Amino acid sequence: MRIYKAANYNEMSRMAANILSAQVILKPASVLGLATGSTPLGTYKQLIEWYEKGDIDFSEVTSINLDEYIGLSSTHEQSYHHFMHENFFDHINIKPGNIHLPDGTATDLEKECKDYDALISDTGGIDLQLLGIGTDGHIGFNEPSDAFEPLTHVVNLTDSTIKSNTRFFTDEEDVPKSAITVGIKTIMQAKKILMIVNGKNKADILKEALYGCITPALPASILQLHPDFTVIGDEEAFSSL
Ligand code: PGA
């Protein structure tokens, strides 16, 4: 595990963007595992800036997103499809056919999960997985549980996740209660994992995830076992360490 401390959110984002950018420069046809949420926004913004300057080319990149809400169409403002297009894909030259997210409106969700796993294996696997961490320790939408779920699955979101996501919706009632997420095995099979974390509200869970017991009750704790795991956090995120 490699830990890098950034002075603030902007420095964390720039460091993360540097690692993603190095990945794409060294392997233009990289498969990037991507994440949504407020944490990676600055990273995407920085990558867009470097793309506009001509420093990075995403034309051969394939993206695999971690998760999507069930019941939200790809055009819904709070869907992760929409988030990714608005905050990243629409501003770079990734090919539309190389962009992948689970379909939260699929009528056969079980099949959608299986198809998503098949798609990930068809790409040859994820080269670099970008992750945030939830205040409950989730990665993707792998919520605290009694067992690690290996593959893509449907998950009921915890109260803490629903509460935390309420900030993006006008009403708590509108926040989806379930999602499709890639599983822990898929995340752990990524060749490299890069976790970014900012803010004081993540400090205790981050400490527990990095140095506590490895347990499905804190899904991010499994990352301690990954052979190429990098964490970049700002000072506040590391304030409990
Ligand atoms: P956040 O979410 O970046 O919005 O804090 C992180 C996560 O839930 O993985």
Residues 9-34: tens digit of each pLDDT: 999 999 999 999 999 999 999 999 99
What is the residue range of 136's domain? 2-201+222-232
What does DSSP assign to residue 157? P
Residue 209 lies in a domain: no
Q: To which H or E segment does residue 51 belong?
A: helix 41-52
Lowest-confidence pick of 1-15, 44-58, 157-171, 217-231: 157-171
From ligand 1's centre to the CA of 111, what distance in Å?
27
The answer to whether 132 touches 9, Cβ cutoff 8 Å, is: no
> Is 138 an active-site residue?
yes
Q: 3-state DSSP call for residue 217? A: coil
Q: Has residue 214 been placed in a domain?
A: no
Residue 199 has pLDDT above 90, yes or no: yes
Would you say the pTM of this structure is higher than 0.85?
yes
Sign of CA dihedral 74, 77, 80, 82: positive
Backbone angles phi, psi at 136, to 5 degrees: -95, 5
Is any ligand 1 atom within 6 A of the Cβ of residue 46? Answer: no
pLDDT value for 82: 97
Which pLDDT score, from 0 to 100, does residue 35 have? 98
Instruction: Look up the CATH number of the domain holding residue 168.
Output: 3.40.50.1360
List for the chain the helix, strand, coil content (%; round to 5).
40, 20, 40
Catalytic residue among 67, 68, 149, 234: 67
- Report pLDDT for 160: 86
Residue nearest to atom 2 of ligand 1 (CA): 37
